[in-house]
Structure 1
């Protein structure tokens, strides 16, 4: 594997498919993993700056465009070529030429008849006044105005392009996270198919006490691709996904979600139950803790395999808050349809 592939992997410029291949190669090849760490240490300052600007592109300082335009106009005025000032002798010669009486070239008789003086030089025919050509003095002013307009257009275009690039990068990170959730759903479906009751990994058991341990059982049973990391690739450290904490039965028993069954009675699990998601956004976070790596939304995976980006936590059945139960607690759902997703360390 080349250094170029590793550098592209560090700066998150690979498409999701290529990034998964590189990640798998790094996991399988200790030499590649060691080289990745060497490159990470070499470009640590640049990588830290790039990571900080991914989600929050720095805004230009206030008044930057106006100051730049003023500077360009000042530069043009200071460096515009000007006609040299006449010296003292040149000024005297010009004065004498202007006020001296030239020799007559014609003679006028009493009857008004005119005749040219023999040997007198021909008087050149005066050129017509300039009426439709460019004014030399106004050309410079027009040039400066055109330059200022062009500078304004350039600054506006640069701002639009920068904003478009930032939005495209943000959208690409959201898509990468959605593809990761879809891959996770394939593993969850395989686990449910092999479970006698068709249930997904349950949190609160000795093997999986907290919400961040559910993926271990999927990896152990081979339901996830080799090298797959069950976390959001948009985050620098692959933040783990939130996962369902299950629900409490009427006799206070905690159960995990079960694969949707079209023949099940009303009120049973269905395809619209959330099972995993990004962390909540800062505006939807129920308490202090890590939030979604996407500043504008969070991706939610439902039992049926659908992934939905949303800005609100109220996307459970009937507008249920997917990060708190009906009692406002981060705990197992109060009923079978009370969806609650827990972050790492959360228990049912």
Structure 2
């Protein structure tokens, strides 16, 4: 693995497939991990600046378009060619040339009184006379500059919009990859649990939704330094996590690993287990919202990650942030999916 690959990994410019390959190589090769840390220390200032710019993309200031066009117009007015006023001697010469052009003389008198005839075949039409620059040229120049400035501004706006969209999409991809890594840790935890259950919320050790990752980290199911939240956010934003469901005897249970031999109605691959916080429109109440503005990434038990703008992506169109009673609490039954934010309890 080259240093260029590691640098691209650090600056998060790889596509999801290549980034997954690099991450797998780092997990399997301690020497590559050591090289990555050395590079991270070397480019730390640049990396910090790039992360800040990526997470908080600057928006054009209000009125930038009008100020730009006004500045261009001012520059044109100050630098356009001016019509020069002819000197008195120039006016006399211009008058003579006009008269010469309208009726060419047959004789020319010199200062000594000597006269000379001008042959008829030697007379020439005088060139067009002008008193200064064409006043229309400055006007055309000004119009051309204003049109060019407008085109340049339009192009700048299109490019800026494309950059913002690309950065937003890159943040979504980064969080999707982080959720896939989280699924690997959850799967490892379920494999080691006698009943095949994922970390359960509501216990003395993990009372709220934001404590689920502690079990994974304590048992070594997550990579060193892994943060259970969106890594492309300016501030650390954790992921929402399942609050479990209530059994018929009112006992709160956590989700289990899907079993193909389990009876119908048991846990299945399409049950949401974690994801981004809800968007402002989908949030069931006050609290942190998705860092992706209008969309959310949702992780399902089967390992699939889906980007959605609607919270109704649970089994049968279930709202994944509220139970069947519209509450932020454990699901009313095994198929009622509810993801809780930090501080939420079953």
Calculate the TM-score normalised by the size of structure 1.
Answer: 0.77
- The answer on whether the counterparts of 2:275 and 2:298 sit within 8 Å (CA) in structure 1 is yes
Q: Which structure 2 residues correspond to residues 1-150 of structure 1 after superposition, within 5 A?
A: 15=14, 17=19, 50=53, 53-54=56-57, 57-62=58-63, 64-92=64-92, 94-95=94-95, 98=98, 103-104=105-106, 120=118, 123-126=122-125, 136-150=134-148
Q: Per-residue displacement from partner, 1:156-209 (whole Å, max 9, x unpaired)? A: 000000111011001100100000000000111111111111111111112211
C-alpha distance in structure 2 between counterparts of 1:180 and 1:25, whole Å: 18
More off after superposition, 199-208 vs 163-172: 199-208
Q: Which structure 2 residues correspond to residues 162-173 of structure 1 after superposition, within 5 A?
A: 162-173=160-171
C-alpha distance in structure 2 between counterparts of 1:279 and 1:103, whole Å: 96
Instruction: Say whether 1:267 aligns with 2:262.
Output: no
More off after superposition, 326-335 vs 95-104: 95-104
C-alpha distance in structure 2 between counterparts of 1:126 and 1:58, whole Å: 64
Q: Per-residue displacement from partner, 1:296-342 (whole Å, max 9, x unpaired)? A: 21110000100011111111111111111111111111100010111
Task: Could you tell me which runs of 5 or more consecutive residues in structure 2 were left unpaired when the two chains were aligned.
Answer: 1-5, 27-31, 108-114
Task: Could you tell me which runs of 5 or more consecutive residues in structure 1 were left unpaired when the two chains were aligned.
Answer: 106-116
Q: Which structure 2 residues correspond to residues 192-203 of structure 1 after superposition, within 5 A?
A: 192-203=190-201
- The answer on whether the counterparts of 2:280 and 2:289 sit within 8 Å (CA) in structure 1 is yes
Give the corresponding residue for 2:112.
none
Relative to structure 1, the CA distance from residue 282 to residue 104 in structure 2 (aligned partners, 3 Å threshold; closer, same or farther) is: same
Give the corresponding residue for 1:333.
331
Q: CA RMSD in A?
A: 3.7
Calculate the TM-score normalised by the size of structure 2.
Answer: 0.78
Give the corresponding residue for 1:241.
239
Structure 1 residue 86: deviation in Å?
2.2
Q: How many residues are paired up? A: 317
- The answer on whether the counterparts of 2:277 and 2:288 sit within 8 Å (CA) in structure 1 is yes
Residue aligned with 1:147, SS: helix
More off after superposition, 230-239 vs 274-283: 230-239
Structure 1 residue 90: deviation in Å?
3.6
C-alpha distance in structure 1 between counterparts of 2:326 and 2:277, whole Å: 17
Structure 1 residue 97: deviation in Å?
5.9
Q: Per-residue displacement from partner, 1:80-127 (whole Å, max 9, x unpaired)? A: 23353122344345446655886426xxxxxxxxxxx98535634337
Residue aligned with 2:56, SS: helix
C-alpha distance in structure 1 between counterparts of 2:259 and 2:97, whole Å: 109
Give the corresponding residue for 1:343.
341
Residue aligned with 2:181, SS: helix
Relative to structure 1, the CA distance from residue 271 to residue 314 in structure 2 (aligned partners, 3 Å threshold; closer, same or farther) is: same
Q: Per-residue displacement from partner, 1:1-21 (whole Å, max 9, x unpaired)? A: xxxx99x96xx6655849977
- The answer on whether the counterparts of 2:80 and 2:141 sit within 8 Å (CA) in structure 1 is no
C-alpha distance in structure 2 between counterparts of 1:65 and 1:237, whole Å: 31
Structure 1 residue 242: deviation in Å?
0.8
Structure 1 residue 289: deviation in Å?
0.7
Q: Per-residue displacement from partner, 1:208-244 (whole Å, max 9, x unpaired)? A: 1111111111112121112211111022333111111
Relative to structure 1, the CA distance from residue 83 to residue 281 in structure 2 (aligned partners, 3 Å threshold; closer, same or farther) is: closer
Relative to structure 1, the CA distance from residue 314 to residue 295 in structure 2 (aligned partners, 3 Å threshold; closer, same or farther) is: same
Instruction: Say whether 1:295 aligns with 2:293.
Output: yes
C-alpha distance in structure 2 between counterparts of 1:93 and 1:272, whole Å: 94
C-alpha distance in structure 2 between counterparts of 1:146 and 1:58, whole Å: 29
Give the corresponding residue for 2:314.
316
